[in-house]
Structure 1
Amino acid sequence: MDLYSLALNVLLMGDRQSGRSSVGNALIGGEEFQTGTCVPGISVTAECQRLSRNFQRYFRRQGVESDLVLSVVDTPPLLPSPHTVSELCPGGVHVLVLVLRADWPNERTHLREHALFGPEWCRHALLVLTHADHLREAGLHPSAFLMQANDWLRALAEEVEGGVFFLDNTSNWSCIRGRPLRDQLLRLSARNHHKGLSVTESLRGATNV
């Protein structure tokens, strides 16, 4: 094990205009992922895009200062193929980030994550709710929002083992909230011993059940 560097693959998944690319920019600390106003119902992201950044001396592991090499893959709303995920995430997916808008109704099951990764996906998953500034404007605390959410969203928040992270879309939010989000991803990956989730192995395991 290399104590001086840790490489993690992060896969972003979410519906149209959910804020996936903005979350990706927060994670890498830049503006490389394309974002912007678009036609309602049309996603800015048309194909998978992978960007990486090396955060030098980001954390300590066994008393040694270690770099964090973070590779973030932004996906279009349609389910990426297992081959595409395997190519873009060599070594597997360490953290699966599900992105939803806090200010929009969300009413669907995450069958596509189960279909792509098998039943183990929730162990590597983190839920990010974007546009949380609308909750603040309404005087609604994040914990109160989850208590009032529909059954599907509450169940999803409980199912993902990485927990729930709220991000707002005010100015400089990505710079301010990027570090806490990266830290939460790092803690989740550490609980899984930094082992990546392999698409091929998951599908094979699900088939053999």
Structure 2
Amino acid sequence: MADDSRRRRLGDSEQNVLALNVLLLGDRQSGRSSVGNALIGGEEFQTGSCISGRCVTTDCQVLRRNFEGYFRRQGAESDLMLRVVDTPPVTPRPQRLHELCPDGVHVLVLVLRADLTHGNTHLEEDVEKLFGPEWRRHALLVFTHTDHLKEAGLSQSVYLAQTTDWLRALAEKVGGGVSFLDNSCDWPTIRGRPLREQLLRLSARNHHRALTVRTEEP
């Protein structure tokens, strides 16, 4: 898909706008909604523990935020408009994702808990069914609950070296690399910008092209 840039008029001038669709995927209680809040710099996504076995996120939720003059592009200031889609812990239906992101998905954020290494080992298979083998170039891996690593005295590099084979392999496959988020920090103000910049660099490497949701079996 072509570069999803837009231009909006500001008085007598025009401002570049880069609009990106970001999809959050992960197990229940993985911290997807908290990562979404970090990306948009707010507390709009509902977070919390499961109640009576039911998760807080039961359907796809979409929030957006425009960051004015966020970066310079081709010598001019550009806005970054993020459209973040949070998903329930079960793999979302392809048709539902297509309805929410008809222009495709620019960045896939895979959210996993650092303290639960035996999580969704079928995650790669599920994502490939949705987007095909190209998904790896558009994905980044985010570990949440990394305050547990500090308590155990583990550095990020040691954690990755000692984790399960499937997690270590996944970390090596994703094009956007790995990010560690400490839940004890102020997510929106402290952890949000580094994660947005990582996301922006990944999308730029892919020339801001979007993945198309597969609505039919290949």
TM bracket, shorter-chain basis: over 0.9
The residue that corresponds to 2:156 in the other structure is 142
Contact 1:131 1:169 in 2 (8 A): yes
Counterparts of residues 29-48 of structure 1 (less than 5 Å): 29-39=41-51, 42-48=54-60
Does structure 1 residue 52 correspond to structure 2 residue 81? Answer: no
Aligned residues: 204
Contact 1:100 1:106 in 2 (8 A): no
Distance 1:186 1:134, change over 3 A: same
Letter in 2 for 1:194: H
TM-score normalised by L of structure 1: 0.93
Greater helix content: 1
Distance 2:118 2:72 in 1: 38
Q: Any idea what SS the aligned residue of 2:96 has?
A: helix
Q: Any idea what SS the aligned residue of 1:183 has?
A: helix
The residue that corresponds to 2:78 in the other structure is 66
Deviations 1:169-193, CA, capped at 9 Å, x for gaps: 0141332010000000000000110
| Deviates further, 99-108 or 175-184 | 99-108
Letter in 2 for 1:26: A
Does structure 1 residue 133 correspond to structure 2 residue 147? Answer: yes
Matched-pair identity in %: 67
Distance 1:173 1:33 in 2: 12
The residue that corresponds to 2:25 in the other structure is 13
Q: CA deviation at 1:40?
A: 7.8
Runs of 4+ residues deviating >3 angstroms: 39-42
CA RMSD of aligned residues (A): 1.6
Does structure 1 residue 77 correspond to structure 2 residue 89? Answer: yes
Q: CA deviation at 1:2?
A: 4.0
Q: Any idea what SS the aligned residue of 1:199 has?
A: coil
Distance 2:185 2:144 in 1: 13
Structure 2: 5+ residue stretches without partners:
8-15
Contact 1:6 1:68 in 2 (8 A): yes
Distance 2:56 2:172 in 1: 30
Does structure 1 residue 157 correspond to structure 2 residue 171? Answer: yes
Letter in 2 for 1:94: H
Distance 1:18 1:41, change over 3 A: farther
Distance 2:53 2:205 in 1: 36
Distance 1:59 1:40 in 2: 44
Deviations 1:54-79, CA, capped at 9 Å, x for gaps: 00000000110000000000000111
Deviations 1:129-182, CA, capped at 9 Å, x for gaps: 001111012111011100000100000000111100000101413320100000
Letter in 2 for 1:164: V
Q: CA deviation at 1:41?
A: 5.4
Distance 1:117 1:49 in 2: 19
Distance 1:121 1:171 in 2: 30
| Deviates further, 52-61 or 172-181 | 172-181
Q: Any idea what SS the aligned residue of 1:21 has?
A: helix
Contact 1:18 1:130 in 2 (8 A): yes
TM-score normalised by L of structure 2: 0.89
The residue that corresponds to 1:104 in the other structure is 116
| Deviates further, 14-23 or 168-177 | 168-177
Distance 1:13 1:106 in 2: 16
Q: Any idea what SS the aligned residue of 2:130 has?
A: helix
